Amino acid sequence: MKFRFENFGYFDQAELELGELTLICGSNNVGKTYLNYAIYGFLERLQFGFHELVINRSLLKEGMEHGVFWFDLKQFEPKLAESLNDYSDWYTSILDNVFSSPEGAFEKSKMQCLQEGLLPLDYSEAMEDSLQANGVNIHFQKNPHESRAEITVEAEEINSQTVGVLTNFLRRQIFNLFLNKKLRKPFVITAERTGIALFQKELDLSKNVIIEKLTSVKKNNIDAYSIFPSVLAEMLSRYPISVKNNIDLIRDLENIRKKKSHFFESEQANNQQVKQLLTTMTQMLNGSFQQVNGDTYFVPRKERKRSKVDPLPMYMSSSSVKSLLLLDAYIKHLASPRDILIIDEPELNLHPRNQIWMARLLAQLVNAGIHVLITTHSDFLVKEFNHLLMLSQSFPDRAKLMKRFGYSEAEVLKSHQVKAYIATEQHTLEQAVIDERGIQLDSFDTVILDQGDVTDAISFALDSP
């Protein structure tokens, strides 16, 4: 999917196409997080489809009366382009809500999902789906390479409600055909994750305050309806949707830990790729998480010849542990191959060695089918991605080098999988070149070379007689 941004925070105009792995780089305060959060919100809401896509209800009613009818999906291609533009306009209009920003902050902004690669529709695969709801049984079947689908409907009664059920069902099929291969379920990990992991209990106090205020209102015979809006306005958190969702996730960790992600379902659990994911995550954490009476604890890995360390509550755990909490929960309990994982600064609070492990973990996720979008300042992260890109080529001693440095084929990246962008002083995004040596990002190299020059100059002066 490809996006265009206009008058969007730091950016006058920018275009960004999502790859299997997408990096947004740049100096501080240039709007990288704006793009991350905006794309997350766009994809999160887009999952629910185009509710305004017009389908002739009279024809559907007639088809329901016959019980079986043909439905040509191709007729909706022009309408889909229009619907995508309408959705982009609608999403732009609610950006203040997405970012919890002051009203009018995005008044001149525009975000658009471009149609490149989305149309014409691909009818090559078969489609089949069923629904039983509100007294209606629907069966949908489309053969490979055909645009027409056979619809079978059994309804206790044909009225506006049952026709509406069929209409929404068919909208979903059209939407799936349009974007199913392109659209991925987003999961976001924000840069505020360490604070959320630490202060989630305090954030929950706001709920108790609302209850206490409403109880006081009732005791004093005050009209609750008159004061309730002001109480909500007072207590409503001023966080972007992405941050709110991270808060909700940590709040629900006890239930989430009862689930198993795609990687840890029975048929996947012994897969070598899954074992490597778990090993890499453990390597970074040097321990594991557990839930005790609704609270999250970190259990450090026991070292040989040293006493076992008791589980640590979050407030006693390191910043790196708090930074990795959500990623650990995602991989073990929530991940699905049709996801896009969006992370603000995956290197946050990590030692350079762990930043390298992070790059390898993200590459493993990409090769397991999960797309990844990150913002980063980490030269270690980019350099490791470059190593993984270089290893995709054939050259003498490749196998020997991979064994020497502990790489596996599950970590190797190909250039067509990766897209990288740099925020420029011209207030736009510039796409980085990716060649046989990896991602070419001069901004990191320039700073490193400058530091080297300073070191050389000072060292030379110190060594001079």
- Strand, coil or helix: what is 55? coil
Q: In angstroms, rounded to a whole number, what is the distance separating the alpha carbons of residues 160 and 138? A: 16
At a CB cut-off of 8 Å and minimum separation 6, what does 163 contact?
57, 60, 61, 64
Distance of CA 92 to the CA centre of its chain: 19
Q: In angstroms, rounded to a whole number, what is the distance separating the alpha carbons of residues 210 and 208? A: 5
Q: In angstroms, rounded to a whole number, what is the distance separating the alpha carbons of residues 209 and 138? A: 47
Structure tokens at 382: 């980019």
Reported as a single tens digit per residue, the pLDDT across 301-341 is 877 777 787 889 888 889 999 999 999 999 999 999 889 99
Reported as a single tens digit per residue, the pLDDT across 89-148 is 999 999 999 999 989 999 999 999 998 878 888 899 999 999 998 889 999 999 999 999
| Cis peptide, bond prior to residue 313, ω within 30 of zero | no
Reported as a single tens digit per residue, the pLDDT across 202-227 is 655 555 555 565 666 556 555 554 55
Contact in structure between 24 and 35 (CB atoms under 8 Å)? yes
Contact in structure between 3 and 418 (CB atoms under 8 Å)? no
Reported as a single tens digit per residue, the pLDDT across 157-173 is 999 999 999 999 999 89
Q: In angstroms, rounded to a whole number, what is the distance separating the alpha carbons of residues 4 and 112? A: 5
Q: In angstroms, rounded to a whole number, what is the distance separating the alpha carbons of residues 136 and 154? A: 6
> What does pLDDT average to over the chain?
87
Give whichever of 29-33, 202-206, 264-268 has the largest mean pLDDT: 29-33
**Domain residue ranges in the chain:** 48-182, 193-238, 254-455
Determine which helix (DSSP H) or strand (DSSP E) holds 2, and give its type and residue range: strand 2-8
Contact in structure between 286 and 318 (CB atoms under 8 Å)? no
Q: In angstroms, rounded to a whole number, what is the distance separating the alpha carbons of residues 46 and 279? A: 34
Q: How does residue 268 score in pLDDT terms, banded at 50, 70 and 90?
A: low
Strands 148-155 and 136-142: antiparallel
Structure tokens at 26: 């740049």
Residue (of 169, 154, 177, 174) closest to 63 by Cα position: 154
Percent of the chain scored above 70 by pLDDT? 90
| pLDDT for res 233 | 47
Q: Is the model's pLDDT at 49 over the cut of 90?
A: no
At a CB cut-off of 8 Å and minimum separation 6, what does 310 contact?
none
Residue (of 288, 290, 282) closest to 256 by Cα position: 290
User: In Å, what is the CA distance from 284 to each residue of 265, 297, 301, 437?
Assistant: 23, 16, 11, 26
Structure tokens at 188: 């976001």
Structure tokens at 455: 């070191």
E-state strands within 134-204? 136-142, 148-155, 185-189
